[in-house]
Amino acid sequence: MQADRDAIRILRRGKTVEIPDFSPTETLLDYLRLRDHAIGTKEGCAEGDCGACTVAIGRLDGNGGVVYRPVNACIHLLGMADGAEVVTVEDLATDDRLHPIQQAMVDHDASQCGFCTPGFVMALFALYHRSSPEESGRAAVNDAIAGNLCRCTGYKPIVAAALEACKAPALDGFGTIETARKLAGLDDDKSLFVGDETRFFAAPATIDELASLYVLHPDATLVAGATDVGLWITKQMRPIERVIHLGRVAALNSIADTGDALVIGAATTYAEAWDALTALDPDIAEVLRRLGSPQVRAAGTVGGNIANGSPIGDTPPLLIVLGSEITLRRGAQTRVVPLQDFFIDYGKQDRGPGEFVESIHVPKPGPHTQIRAYKISKRFDQDISAVLAAFAFDIVAGEIRDARVAFGGMAGIPKRAGSAEAALRGAGLRDFDRWTEAFDALVSDFTPMSDHRASAGYRLQVARNLLYKALVEVSGAETGTTRLVGYREHDDALRT
């Protein structure tokens, strides 16, 4: 690739910082602590779970403003911050005056040992800038700090501090017109290549450059949000020599509404796709609310959750029952594959060398389609699913004309329950004998494994129970009688 630029540029404390020399796998956390000496940002779990390393990334929002999103600096590669403002806890106070979030934390005694506090402050800083005072209620605060772990204080005073600070508009000197102007100056639409042919960090600016580079280096690691790859680096210590970052390719970061479907670029983050996806169905909104944390959703991508082929990814079962297809590209050639056929076996997908996921075509539910989805995990917030169940029933005149049932965590891949689906097609909503056939058919559809998240027997029983719950609900039961949270009867799907 002919590089237009051989150094990344970030905005720090109002000044442009150019960084020409860095390892392809250097994390933003290591840069901040070891080179920028911003040691208020802490290293805790090194896998994006505890939130102690949370910083805010500011980028243009497309309307001339600046949006701040929290990210886990421990698994966020330094090169991915190119063109952004990086805000750390040291940057908030000015002239010996604390930021409103910091002051509220002090006033409400919301810190004890203090190790986690910078991460909480930065997560709430992002909320402070993201929401209007009317939108910053307790539920919004709880969601904002779902990716931050405190073992000392307890969350009550932290929530109280957030409610106090966020009741007023954001007037802290961040996200100004001047900041937007400086960020616009960094957004040069140029391709980035740091290193040489044997070891590099590359960020192509166009999809054609990406396709050419990946064909040339099919062994390179594609990185979108690094919420998975970051752990390869920090936990598995994999020797990754070549990194191709997808974040600068505008064609991969887009959402188009065709009327009856969404076409989502593979590098679109969950946060960016939030409004479009959650509008499809309240249950999709509820599952996405529990997918990772705000820090994970700010970086993780829809395409990445597909391309990594995890059997416990939360979005593939949802997208499968909607009938989604993906477009794969290698060089100038593209092909379309039904998402359910993309997953072949554990760790194996229908994707050749130099081929990448370009976009996801997501049909909208039809007028006769009932969607249900449930996530089962040990923790409510920010936990990997033991079982993720998704259902789409086409119901006409009290009859299930078609049934699409998919599970994550039940096999080595996200997988449809073909035998259970067949048992339900043509069944009435009160045909309990056919329901029982479908429950029993799950045994032939899946042979789950036992691991530290759940036993095989537990997973099978949960799958039966969730199918039963879905059928009861689409038969007319109010979800207030079948659920503890996420009632579908609420106008706002995020209320509990």
Coil, strand or helix: which one is 406? strand
Residues of the chain with CATH 3.30.390.50: 369-474
pLDDT digits (tens, 9 = 90+) for 1-52: 556 789 999 999 999 999 999 999 999 999 999 999 999 999 999 999 999 9
CB 437 within 8 A of CB 409: no
CATH of range 93-165; options 1.10.150.120, 2.40.50.250, 1.10.30.50, 1.10.3720.10: 1.10.150.120
- Going 436 to 441 to 447 to 453, the CA torsion angle's sign is negative
C-beta neighbour count of 191 within 10 angstroms: 20
Rg (the chain; Cα; Å)? 23
DSSP 309-325: --TT-SHHHHHHHTT-E
pLDDT mean over 120-124: 97
pLDDT digits (tens, 9 = 90+) for 83-105: 999 999 999 998 889 999 999 99
CATH of domain 369-474: 3.30.390.50
CB 346 within 8 A of CB 448: no
Residues of the chain with CATH 1.10.150.120: 93-165
pLDDT digits (tens, 9 = 90+) for 339-369: 999 999 998 999 999 999 999 999 999 999 9
pLDDT of residue 496: 33
pLDDT class for 183, splitting at 50, 70, 90?
Answer: very high
Rounded CA separation 338/11 (Å) = 41
* pTM for this predicted structure: 0.94
pLDDT digits (tens, 9 = 90+) for 148-180: 999 888 899 999 999 999 988 888 999 999 999
Question: Do strands 325-330 and 333-338 pair parallel, antiparallel, or not at all (unpaired)?
Answer: antiparallel
The domain defined by 8-90+176-245 carries CATH number 1.10.3210.10:
no
Alpha helices in 166-205 (DSSP H): 177-186
Angle at 467 (CA atoms; ends 461, 472), nearest 5 degrees: 125
What are the C-alpha distances in Å from 80 to residues 10, 88, 125, 317, 384?
10, 16, 21, 28, 25
C-beta neighbour count of 157 within 10 angstroms: 18
